[in-house]
Amino acid sequence: MVARRLGASTFLISLLTASQFAGNISAFLAAHYWQDKPKLPFMVSAWTISRALFLFVAFVSTPLPFVLLVVAYWIVASLPVPGYAEVMRAIYPDAIRGRAMAYVRVGMTACVTVMTPLAGQLLDLVGYQYVFPIAALFGIASGLAFGRIRFQEVVTTTRRPMAALWRLLWEDRRYLAFTVAFFVYGFGCLMIVPLLPIFLVDELHLSYGEVGILGMVNSVCWMLGYVLWGRTVDRRGAFWTLRVNFVLTVAVPLGFFFAWDVRLVALAYVFNGLTTAGIDLGWMTGVIAIARKDRVGDYTALHAFFVGLRGLTAPFLGATLLLVPGIGLRGALLLSAVLIAAGWALFRRMPSSDR
């Protein structure tokens, strides 16, 4: 929304969307070079530096520098993703991992729920040049606080070659099926992300405050989703949880497709919040369930790579579809729903039991 208000083109909005996934490619490389080193100090450094970048938003008044700062943020902030999965496996027992991760995220989403409408009002009142630097200070503090976690980290003594990561796809066909299904599903989700600000601003003409309320609806459902899916992951398994969330996600693009006012958009945000929580818990616990105990970071790195690959392509396809006669914005939304449903169909063919 800020980028659009600054005058960002459809291309820049697509770049903004893709940027959060560009870092996943670098995370794949980081996972290789940090195999034989402690992960926690690296994670804290990356998170602190990335969040500090938003201090410079105070000096930004045009769309391009704003977009470039966000791109830099995501590239640096995504580097620790494989290490984060290893930390989650190390500090939480298998039997309660879903609930433990969920409860931590409930606290996070509770904060988001309170701050989203407030941030929307502050953006209207004082502008982004004040809001982003203040948020950066809190982000820096949270990264430093994470560094105080104490656990027994297992560091390998040897570094496996990069080719060993790719061989996992052929050695573990269950993981290959998981990856393909997730790629198709995620492609459908991401192709419409740059279109939604355009839809909200250009078609529905919503203010920052109204978008803030929609964000609050999303955050409340996101928080409730963590409570629901955290228990579900522990009781029914990661893969059952993911299958349910895949099919529920179809309601998100369809909600926008049929929306002519804010009511159906609000319903789409309800499903988006619920499924965001389910997918967040499901993918990580699913990877941990599939992976061999000594290679969780490798499996996570591969997952991150494919998340990055689809994130660097899908938003630009969505933006391109706006220009195709007979498709446009609502046609892209419908295609998104079809791809998400296809991802669900592929995921159904996977064995359902976790190990």
For 66-97, the three-class secondary structure string (H helix, E strand, C coil) is: HHHHHHHHHHHHCCCHHHHHHHHHHHCCHHHH
pLDDT for 81:
76
Q: How many residues can be counted in the chain?
A: 355
Residue 77 scores a pLDDT above 80: yes
Counting other chains too, the contacts that 312-317 makes at CB distance below 8 Å and 24 or more residues apart are: 312/18, 312/21, 312/22, 312/25, 313/187, 314/186, 314/187, 314/188, 314/189, 314/190, 314/191, 315/14, 315/17, 315/18, 315/190, 315/191, 315/193, 315/194, 316/14, 316/18, 317/191
Whether 69 and 252 have beta carbons less than 8 Å apart is answered as no
pLDDT for 355:
41
pLDDT for 203:
78
Q: How confident is the model at residue 178 (pLDDT cuts 50, 70, 90)?
A: very high
Q: What is the pLDDT of residues 233-275, one digit of tens each?
A: 988 988 999 999 999 999 999 999 888 877 788 999 999 999 9
- Report the alpha-carbon distance of residue 91 to residue 230 in Å, rounded: 16
Share of the chain above pLDDT 70, in %: 93
Share of the chain above pLDDT 90, in %: 22
Which has more confidence, 130 or 297? 130
Residue 353 scores a pLDDT above 60: no
pTM of the model: 0.76
Domains parsed from the chain with CATH numbers: 2-146+168-348 (1.20.1250.20)
Residue 303 scores a pLDDT above 90: no
Give the chain's end-to-end CA distance (angstroms, integer): 42
Which has more confidence, 101 or 17? 101
pLDDT for 157:
63
Mean pLDDT of 295-299: 79
Whether 4 and 201 have beta carbons less than 8 Å apart is answered as yes
Residue 352 scores a pLDDT above 60: no
pLDDT for 336:
95
- Report the alpha-carbon distance of residue 110 to residue 238 in Å, rounded: 24
Mean pLDDT of 297-321: 85
Phi, psi of 354 (to 5 degrees): -85, 160
Which has more confidence, 271 or 44? 271
Mean pLDDT of 126-149: 86
pLDDT for 1:
64
Whether 229 and 245 have beta carbons less than 8 Å apart is answered as yes
pLDDT for 354:
44
Ordered alpha helix ranges (H), the chain? 2-5, 10-33, 40-52, 63-77, 81-91, 97-125, 128-146, 162-171, 173-190, 195-198, 208-236, 238-249, 251-257, 262-290, 296-321, 328-348
Q: What is the pLDDT of residues 278-288, one digit of tens each?
A: 999 998 888 88
Which amino acid, residue 61?
A: S
Mean pLDDT of 101-115: 78
Residue 185 scores a pLDDT above 90: yes
| Least confident residue range of 45-59, 205-219, 321-335 | 205-219
Q: How confident is the model at residue 142 (pLDDT cuts 50, 70, 90)?
A: confident
Most confidently modeled range among 29-43, 65-79, 85-99: 65-79
pLDDT for 153:
67
Residue 205 scores a pLDDT above 80: no
pLDDT for 32:
67
Which has more confidence, 304 or 21? 304
- Report the alpha-carbon distance of residue 55 to residue 135 in Å, rounded: 9
